[in-house]
Structure 1
Amino acid sequence: MSKPSILASLLPALLLAVPLAGCMGTENRGLESVHQPVVSRSDYALDLGLSGGELAQGEQERLAGWMTTMHLGYGDRVAIDDPAAEGYRARTNVAAVVARYGLLLSADAPVTPAPVTPGTIRVVVSRMRADVPRCPDWSRNSSDDFAENTSSNYGCAINRNLAAMIANPADLVRGAPGTETTDAALSYKAIDTYRKKAPTGAGGLSASSTGGK
């Protein structure tokens, strides 16, 4: 049989193998899930006018309206970008608005694309979000998986719950530092009280009378 005829006979099998290979789904070869939380950050900026080092008239109300629209809340970071240090009193004005949402101003402002116009300051709200893409994932049929892969959906539930519940998504990237010092004496108080307390059954059972004869 000539080479062209051999290739012609193999072509239908190759064409059939291509879609079948695409139907195999996500490969999860180990016990560590391929579905991991992904953290993204979005920065939102608002430029406010200055007058005499503080916010110009009406700017504080405009800032409050903008933050209400942004649904500012726990986890958001608010910073002021003032490279020329013109708003030396405006920081107090901004901090007063931010305090209504139970937040404090951050010390460092993220880099924004456009320069700050002279006579203005820039308020930047940074919002981080954690999510697990491509979940749920039932792309792989485990009933005929001869490679013994872990389920393609393995890890989706626990990692999506972790991404939804974590207070600060940045902790998934760099972690959270623990307390620098531990007071051993304070920790011992609860243990010592537990050890010295008499067992509840040590006193025996009390006798009681129903009053009948």
Structure 2
Amino acid sequence: MANQMHSTRKNARPSNYAGRNVTLLAMAALIAVASGCANPDRSTTGSLPDDYRTRHPIVVGEQERTIDIPVATGASQLTRGQSEVVAGFVSGYSVASSGTFRIILPRGSRNDAATTVAGRQIRKIATRHGVPASKVIVESYAGNLDEAAPIRLAYYAIAASTPACGQWPDDLVVNTHENKNYYNFGCATQNNLAAQIADPNDLLGPRRMTPADATQRGQVLDRYRGAYTELKEMQ
């Protein structure tokens, strides 16, 4: 009986060793997989063209800014609201441009006479708000005798912008099942960001440092000295 039990234990020993070996191999495989997840191949994942900032870049360049001022037939002058709109457009020119300021009047339209009078007023508003008289140019375009055409104001300025949104060149189903952003993704965000930039030149590079504000610096030092004095008294 003892010999039989000894034989059973002897035969079971290799089976236990085999089980341990399988367990060790499984643990090694799990460690290898975990290491691969923790350290991805950046050269591969970084090369995927899936960045909306690349598809919809913000570009700094020249753009024409325009506004149309409707003038009623028979009007003898601009309304107060129209004058304020013109003044607001002129203030934008003073900040963003130093080129020509164009006043484009319709010729041959039903409100031809009214736009001629309004054009003179617009010229006065422009010069009053800082546009040099030599920069103001009056032009014309062909109107329709049956319609009242607007006066167009225009100037060129440097602005930040992105390409137009709403483009769908690729199959949306194919891109999404590959877990990639669709082409139009992020376009509206880029457009809104470009529209909020006050000075597009800030995208080209940093500005030079300005001198320190001596008054503000003095106030900061006074607060620091006061806090230091209170701390010493508490000690």
Q: Tell me the TM-score normalised to structure 1 length.
A: 0.39
Which of the pair has the greater relative contact order for Cα pairs under 8 Å at 6+ separation? 1
Q: Over alpha carbons, which structure has the higher Rg? A: 2
The normalised TM-score by structure 2 is 0.36
